Each structure stands twice: as C-alpha cells, then as structure tokens.
A and B are shown apart, each in its own frame.
Chain A
Amino acid sequence: MEYFVQQLINGLTLGSIYGLIAIGYTMVFGIIGMVNFAHGDVFMISAFIALILLILLTQFLGVTSIGLALLIVLVAGMFLTALWSWVIERIAYRPLAGSFRLAPLISAIGMAIFLLNFVQVTQGPRNKASPSILNNVMTIPMGNGSVTISERQALIFIVTAILLLAFWAIVQKTKLGRAQRACEQDRRMAALLGINVDRTISLTFVIGGALASVAGLMFMSYYGVVSFSDGFTPGVKAFTAAVLGGIGSLPGAVIGGLLIGLIETMWSAYFSIDYKDVAAFSILAIVLIFMPSGLLGRPDVEKV
C-alpha cells in the first residue's frame, strides 16, 4: 500500500511536468492547428537555461539562499524561454501561414533538429549533472512503512498549482484570454472583429514557452541531470498527454499530463522499466486511433 502511494506521489510529480509542457502543445494546436514539434526542444533549452542560471547565481554571484536563487531562475528562465518560443514562431511558423498543410510540420521538425544540435554544439554532448538542491525529505508514516515526499516534489506540486491557477485566470478573465479563445473558435471571424490574430498567436507561443520553462527547471532539479537529447521523449509524452486529454482543451492537457505521469510511473514500478517509453508511445497510438478527440476534446467533424 505505501509502495503504491509512493508511486502515486512520484507519478503525479512527473505528471505535473508533462502537464506544463502539454499546455504548450494544446494551445498551439487549438489556435493554429499545427503540432509544434519543436516544443519539446524548447523545453530542453529551458532546462539548460535554468541549469546555467542556477550555477551562475549560486557559484558566482553569491546568492546563498536557495529559495531566492530558484525564484530568480524561475522568472528569468520564463522570460528567456518565452523569447526563444517567440522567435521560433516568427522565423519558422509565421511565414508559412497560408502555405500548404505539411509545411509548418516540416518546418517544425527542422526547427527541432536545429535546436537539438544548437545545444549540442554550444554545450557539448555530455550529460550535465545539476547541483543537487532541496534534498530534504518529509517522511509520512503509513501502514507498516512510510511514504517520503522530497522538498523538490513538494515544490513542483505547489508551483504547478499556482501557475495553472494564474494561467487559468489569464485565459478566462483577461482580454488576451478572450482574444485567444476567439481565435481558437474562428480565426477569420476574430480578425474581422478587430482582434490582432498574429499578436494573439505570438502570445500563445510566449505563454507556452514560459510554462515549458517551468517544466524545464523542474525536470532539471527532479532528475538532477540534463542532456541535449532530453527534449524528444518528454516532448512526445507531453504531446501524448495533450492528445489523451483532448487536444485543444486546457484542463484536458493537465489531466492528460497527470495520467501519463501516473501510467509511466506505475508501469515502471509494477511491470518493466525498460519498456516504459514503449508504454507511452503505445498509449499515444491507441488514443489517437480509438478516441482521437481525447477525454475532454471536441469531436472533429469531417466537413465535405
């Protein structure tokens, strides 16, 4: 029992990370109908940005409070990653609006390849072990054993929850959120009603990048190691989460992320750790084949 609860906690931690990345996929798909293939690599870059900033702050600028350092890394990382995401949209996707349908997908694949190799060239191909932070664990007795939650995990839960609430407020309550939902429903009509569609799309990428950067920071501190090739698999898993939750649906992305995190953890815990990625990819295929509209998505109507 306590083993199960422990896995539950681990799974939800991982799921929070996937959920944050998945929002980026689902928002972009909702608004311009493309799979932003480079999003996983934006997440990877953000992990590197977080790692470098953390070392810069703690080793060279003499920030001794780890909490303050993490806060600065979080905010600065969000800005810098959002900048990457914004530039990528401007360079690789916006010129292709109105081009044939495969063009953005292929451009996105090209961008993903570029980002992956860019980081490999600038930071080297080795795995980077991050300084270990927030190692204290809380032990909660349960049954005849105990369950542990590390500070890292607690932090991941809290930050994810706060960010999701803030993000939810932006989408539901602000003018930007309204514009975004309008563009999602009908881009042309939104443009006719005076919404700056290009700007809204840009902001969607910016928000997606910022959330991915939080996921990157968490990934870096949770696993304690980052590598230039870390973008692809978490990216595909987060995309799976977005599809599972119903692509285009924001709560769906979060629920999907948590589910994928749980499934992956439980699979590793009870079946086989070697095949955990196979499980994730199989879920992706099964969901797309049998319930392409996901848990909370709108069914896709085929127009003639």
Chain B
Amino acid sequence: MDTTDGGTPVSDGALPSPRFPIEDALRSAGLWALVTLGLCFPIVAFETLQDFSNRLTIEARPLLVLFAVAAVFAGRLGWLAVRYHGLPQLLPATRFELTPERKKQLPRIGLAALLIFPFFALLLTGQGGAVKWIDNFGVQILIYVMLAWGLNIVVGLAGLLDLGYVAFYAVGAYAYALIATYVIPATVPGLGPWAFWICLPIAGILAAFWGILLGFPVLRLRGDYLAIVTLAFGEIIRLVLINWVEVTNGNAGIRTPYITFFGLPFSSRTGETTFGDVFALPGSPAVHRSMFLYYTILALALLVAVATQRLRRLPIGRAWEAMREDEIACRSLGINTVNTKLTAFAIGAMFGGLAGAFFGARQGFVNPRSFEFMESATILAIVVLGGMGSLVGVAIAAVAVIGGIELLRELSFLKQIFGPEFDPGQYRMLIFGLAMVLMMIWRPRGLVGARQPTIALDGNAKAISASHVKEGHG
C-alpha cells in the first residue's frame, strides 16, 4: 500500500541479502496498522444504537478496533516476511495446467458429474437433507450457470458490457408470473397445470424482444458508457415493477404456480393425482420436485451451452467475436454491426428470460427484490472471473461464487466461537466484494485466460493469450 515497501522480493540472479530487513518491515506494517486505525475510527469503533427513548446513541467497541489493527499489522508483517524469503511459490504452483487431451475431457467429466449429482446427494444425505443440496446448491448454481452463459454471449462473445442483464431475467420471471396467474386462468383455465411449459417460450420471446428494444438506443455506445446505460435500463425496469402496483402488485410480489411434470403436479392440496402417485415413487414430493427442477434447469443450461458452441461457428458468431476484437475494422470489412449487436442482445436476453421463467416456477413467488443491481453484478462477476468467452471457465466460476456464497450460510459453527449474535450470512457479500477486487488484481483475465480461436488458416489454431485481445472496447 505504501511506497516504502519493506521487503524487497528476491529476483533471480540477485544475491539474497543475509538478513530480513526487519526495521523496514516493521515501519511498513506500522503504517498499515495506522491507516487501519484511521479507517476503523468512527465506523468500527462505535456502533450506532437506538436507546430506550428511541434516540440514537453510540456504543464503543475498542476491542474490535484493536483486533483489526493487530490483524493488519501481523498480516502485513507476515506477508512481507513470506515474500522476502520467496517462500510461497504457492500461487503459481496451484495454477493447474491441463494437457490438451484432458482439457477436451473436462466438459464430459463435468457433465457426468452434473447428471449423477442429485442421486449422489440423495444417497449421502437421505430424504431430509437432499432437498437442501439439490435445490439450494444444485438448482441455485445451475440458474447462475445459465444466466452467466447467457450473459457470456453478450459480454464474452460480442464484447458488449451489459450491467443490466437482470432486467431480462425479470422480464422472463414476470412474464411467467403474469401469464400463469392472470392470463391462463382467465382464458383457458384447463391449461393451468401446463402453465410453465406454455410460458417458457413466451418468456424467451418477450425477453428477446426487450433485448432488441433496449439494444436499439445503445448501438452507438461503447465500453463504460454502454455499461452505465444498461445499468440504468435494468434499474428502470425494476423501479417500474415496484411502482406499477396495479399490474405487478409492487413489492408484495405475485404468487405463481409451481412447476409441474408436464401437467402432473408434484404436490397437491386438493387431492389431485401427483407425480409420486402416478409413478409410484417413494419419498416426499419435495424431493421429486427439486430433482425435476434440477434436471429442467440442467437441460436449459445445456441448451445455452450448445447454442453458444453452434453460434460461434455460424457467421453471426464469427461477427460477434470480430466485433469484440475491433469494431472499426469490423465495420470497414462490411459487417453490419447493427444487426450483429442486436442479435447478441436478443439472444443473450432470450436465455435470461428463459432462466427467469424457470426462476418463477421454482420459487412459486416473484417480487422485484430478486432483480436488484447486485444480481447483475454477480452474474457479470461470474462471467469475468470465469474468463470471458470460456464456457467451462464460466461454469467453474459459477460453482465457486454461488456455491461459496451458499456455503457461507452453513458456517453456523462459527456461532460457537463468536457468540450467538454472530450471523455468518452477513459476511457473504462482504467476502464476495473483496474477492472480486482481489481476483481482478490476481488474475484479471479470469480462470481460463487464454482461448482457442474458432477458426485458423492452417488448421492448427494456437491459443491466444488473453492479454493480446482487447474486449470492452466494442
């Protein structure tokens, strides 16, 4: 942080000095500790509380500040020592390098693991615990995999930075909610059980339509400006969902019918035949439903993956990637960048809409709080952390980010250390934000930072190090 960095790193060839420059290191660590003290002073040192007469008052927390300052001091000192002695070849060593054959097998292994995951979870945790693992982890992660793959088309392939992707997710979810709860019962109530399967394509089409609608005005914008305008669109849609109470029921949200097995409900209060009855399956309806949800979202996510793979080989996919690399060159070569951008927005939005309809059918409830800017940021973070354009990398990043966030909910054992008021769930987003910053410093290009060109002249395409390409300019 400071300019008087204590320990000098040992470079190759340079003679390591005999002694660790302890004074410099102490000075540096002291400075860090002092800065920490300054940062902590009012915000950490005092907690604002309401007293019995509802007046705001403050309570000092000197121990917490002391702890933070000591931790930073020790951490900085330790880091300098470790860096000086050149000890941690840890980071480069963990950078796993796979042989090309292994790399090709990776998606297949991953797919097989995904297919058996629910049964594995059922086997390990039994009927009671399986729903949590299948639904909270499996389905949750796969929704984000799908969203991130959808956004990957816009950001990773076409190079258009979209900070409002969650808008299309919202369009899909609300399309499902409104059609399934108002339109279908009012017109053809017999189709009620089929609501999800009817709404799914409609939600996709509507979202694609919105993608084009919002894509038109931003055709001329690039980079940061494009990001900000898409953010504004995302927020406008959310604010309209909150305020247009007559249609959307505002913050109170809409109850939606749950997903059905092609018309067969998984549970029924009115005594209809359920999925479990028909197939004479053991176990609770909740398990059946979560497993069906799991395979549905898996199929939808794979649809996105296959579509992405195929599109990359089509002229339009090539045009996207060309536009990402250099928009001006692209225009000069006669590529219609208007159509290229609009198709990217539309297709990306369509997948977002499909995921949204699924989300509505899974939750049984939609409200605008699910579509805040944080969601867009999370999805974008997944795409970037995974390495833009790489399907496998993005999937791994989704597992790491969403799985990590969900796992942090499970850290209840920490309550025994820090007392019963300690809520690990609070720290999820804190750690997530910090991880985003650190990831940008450590590996700004994401997990899979190099990519294979889709096409090459002599047939043996070399991987391009990502530092040679420049997405984000388009």
- Give the nearest-CB partner of A86 in chain B: B35
Decide: B437 and A92 in contact? CB cutoff 8 A.
yes
Most buried by A among B38, B218, B471: B38
In the bound complex, residues from chain A placing their C-beta under 8 Å from that of B106 are none
Decide: B240 and A239 in contact? CB cutoff 8 A.
no
In the bound complex, residues from chain B placing their C-beta under 8 Å from that of A239 are 228
In the bound assembly, the distance between CA atoms of A302 and B243 in angstroms comes to: 40
B36 to chain A, nearest CB (A): 9
Cβ proximity bits B397-418 to A, threshold 8 Å, 1 near / 0 not: 0000000000000000000000
CB-based A-B contact count at 8 angstroms? 183
In the bound complex, residues from chain A placing their C-beta under 8 Å from that of B233 are 281, 285
B310 to chain A, nearest CB (A): 26
Number of interface residues of A (CB under 8 A): 68
Q: Which of B5-13, B194-202, B264-272, B422-430 contacts A (4 or more CB under 8 A)?
A: B422-430
Selected from B221, B225, B239, B433, the residue in CB contact (under 8 A) with A110 is B433
The range of chain B's interface size is 35 or more
Decide: B221 and A288 in contact? CB cutoff 8 A.
yes
Decide: B434 and A99 in contact? CB cutoff 8 A.
no
With an 8 A cutoff between CB atoms, is B223 at the interface?
yes
Contacting B at CB under 8 A, from A68-101, are 80, 83-84, 87, 90-92, 95-96, 99-101
Q: Which of B18-26, B121-129, B440-448 contacts A (4 or more CB under 8 A)?
A: B440-448
Q: Which of A51-59, A152-160, A180-188 contacts B (4 or more CB under 8 A)?
A: A51-59
With an 8 A cutoff between CB atoms, is A208 at the interface?
no
In the bound assembly, the distance between CA atoms of A104 and B434 in angstroms comes to: 14
Q: Which of B41-49, B293-301, B334-342 contacts A (4 or more CB under 8 A)?
A: B41-49
B374 to chain A, nearest CB (A): 7
In the bound complex, residues from chain B placing their C-beta under 8 Å from that of A109 are 377, 380-381, 436
Decide: A288 and B225 in contact? CB cutoff 8 A.
yes
Decide: A106 and B440 in contact? CB cutoff 8 A.
yes
In the bound complex, residues from chain A placing their C-beta under 8 Å from that of B444 are 96, 99-100, 103
A205 to chain B, nearest CB (A): 13
In the bound complex, residues from chain A placing their C-beta under 8 Å from that of B229 are 284-285, 288-289
With an 8 A cutoff between CB atoms, is B384 at the interface?
yes
In the bound assembly, the distance between CA atoms of A122 and B46 in angstroms comes to: 9
Q: Tell me whether A110 and B471 are in contact in the complex, defined as CB-CB below 8 angstroms, given that A120-B426, A121-B427, A123-B43 are known contacts.
A: no
In the bound complex, residues from chain B placing their C-beta under 8 Å from that of A278 are 236, 239-240, 243
Selected from A55, A92, A95, the residue in CB contact (under 8 A) with B58 is A55
Selected from B228, B328, B427, B473, the residue in CB contact (under 8 A) with A288 is B228
In the bound complex, residues from chain A placing their C-beta under 8 Å from that of B432 are 110, 113
Decide: B41 and A110 in contact? CB cutoff 8 A.
no
With an 8 A cutoff between CB atoms, is B1 at the interface?
yes
Decide: A292 and B221 in contact? CB cutoff 8 A.
yes
A62 to chain B, nearest CB (A): 15
What are the nearest 3 A-B pairs in CB distance? A110-B436, A113-B433, A114-B433
Q: List B residues at the A interface (Cβ < 8 Å).
A: 1, 35, 38-39, 41-44, 46-48, 50, 55-58, 161, 217-218, 220-221, 223-225, 227-229, 231-233, 235-236, 239-240, 243, 328, 373-374, 377, 380-381, 384, 426-427, 429-430, 432-437, 439-441, 444-445, 466-467, 470-473
Can you list 8 A-B pairs with a CB-CB distance of less than 8 A? A51-B56, A99-B440, A99-B444, A107-B440, A110-B433, A111-B437, A122-B44, A284-B228
